[in-house]
Amino acid sequence: MGKKLKNSGLVGLGVVAGVAISLQFSAMAQKPVDPPLPLEELRQLADVFGLIKSDYVEPVEDKKLLTEAISGMVASLDPHSAYLDKKAYAELREGSQGKFVGLGIEIGQSEDGYIKIVAPIEDSPAWRAGIKPGDLISRLDNMQVKGMSLDESVKKMRGEPGSKVSMTILRKDEAEPLVFNITREEIHQKSVKGKLVEPGYAWVRISQFQEPTVDDMAAKILELYKQDPNIKGLVLDLRNDPGGVLQGAIGVAAAFLPKDSPIVSTNGQLPDQKQIFYGRPEYYELRGENDALAKLPAALKKVPMVVLVNTGSASASEIVAGALQDYKRADIIGSQTFGKGSVQTIRQLTADTAVKLTTARYYTPNGRSIQAKGITPDVAVDENADGDGLNALRTREADLDKHLVNDKETEGAKGKRDELEEQLRIVALEKKRKPLEYGSGDDFQLQQALNHLKGLPVQLAKQGTTVVSVDSAASKK
């Protein structure tokens, strides 16, 4: 029997007016420090501390100086390590459970510098107030949002249950800004949805890997098989899935792979970071209940599959895509993924604070490192019939300052950066396009995935991505 997971591992990053982050929760566990502490550098730190206390233009609290010193030290390591104060730590724990206090909107940065509504969460305060996909937030409580980071805007929208926030919205075809006064409440976010997109073909979308994801996915698949016991093709949609709980990724991959298959391995300095994770309940069950996958139909292990990915697919979603690709269980369709192949561990410092520290790299079953490279689709397909939209301009792991290098092979090319004229052309085109609703009849990549499952022609990407394989799923039946 493999070692039972005691911690909740997370491997991704995203924004849902609340955040899911890449980490493993664990108690403080340190590697013995053999070399002596660098006394000269510690004296310099003490000297700088003293200078600030004595010479700075105004008094500064000791706690603030020391907290900022810790924060800067950890943040200097890589893009994903961070010091978590009381508020950040609480938000992190809430996000991994699929609940948080806020407005209930998925947000992104707009090309104009505003905060863009990707979608309101169904039955949330924002949804009930009439917030729509594509709306632009210009003000929060009369504070200008233009130029504000996503993290800053999330903090403005989070708060105590029952408290209110004023949101000024710019909406296409509305001459004047719209003002909404919305009451915050606890949001329970469902990370799984799905439907039969046409007779015999199912679509299951995972927007984020949370603690309930494996149970929710199993329930959704059972519901779809009840509607159609003879499903002959399944699309697993991981586009813009930023990652999340590691156990969620293991359970999702295990649902489609042979029993007890190795799903992912990790390697770091500490012994508990050198592990292989298998598709067994002790590696994916978090709730101590019955195995959520045990009741799934046997046909699920062999139904022809496509996994949809894009530049926003990161970390836990790359673990799933990488495992299914290594076992040749599914064809990966879309564009090159983000490339986050590192694991972060939460080391609790006090009851309310912690450090999120990168402690390992992770690898696919065949030993591939995804770090700063990502998953290359088997069939490269653009987001739209006329191109890959803003995916071509999006930042990837390899673009981030101080990112970890790929220890297995040469890193993939950095995110594509077209000439300014081409960038402006793409942005102008996207402004005219209505927001994409995944799973809808207008979802171009989904239609190409269905064509692939049926053995019909697929419109490949216009440029930029190497196709690994173009065998149709239909030919593998």
Q: Is 407 a catalytic residue?
A: no
C-beta of residue 330 within 8 angstroms of C-beta of residue 309: no
In angstroms, the first-to-last Cα distance of the chain is: 34
Q: How far is CA 293 from CA 247, 328, 410, in A?
A: 13, 21, 37
326 is catalytic: yes
Q: Which amino acid is at 258?
A: P
Annotation says 469 is catalytic: no
Active-site pick, 78, 272, 291, 326: 326
Catalytic residue, chosen from 315, 317, 342, 472, is 315
C-alpha distances in Å from residue 17, one per residue of 20, 77, 92, 166, 385: 10, 26, 12, 15, 31
Whether 117 contacts 140, CB under 8 Å: no
Catalytic residue among 340, 356, 373, 454: 340
- CB distance 359 to 24 below 8 Å: yes
The encoded tokens of residue 262 equal: 């190795």
Single out the residue of 335, 342, 218, 320 nearest to residue 263, CA to CA: 320
CB atoms within 10 A of CB 338: 33
Q: How far is CA 277 from CA 190, 243, 264, 284, 369, in A?
A: 25, 17, 5, 9, 15
Identify the bridge partners of residue 374 per DSSP, sorted by sequence position: none
Tokens of 1: 């029997």
Active site residues: 315, 326, 340
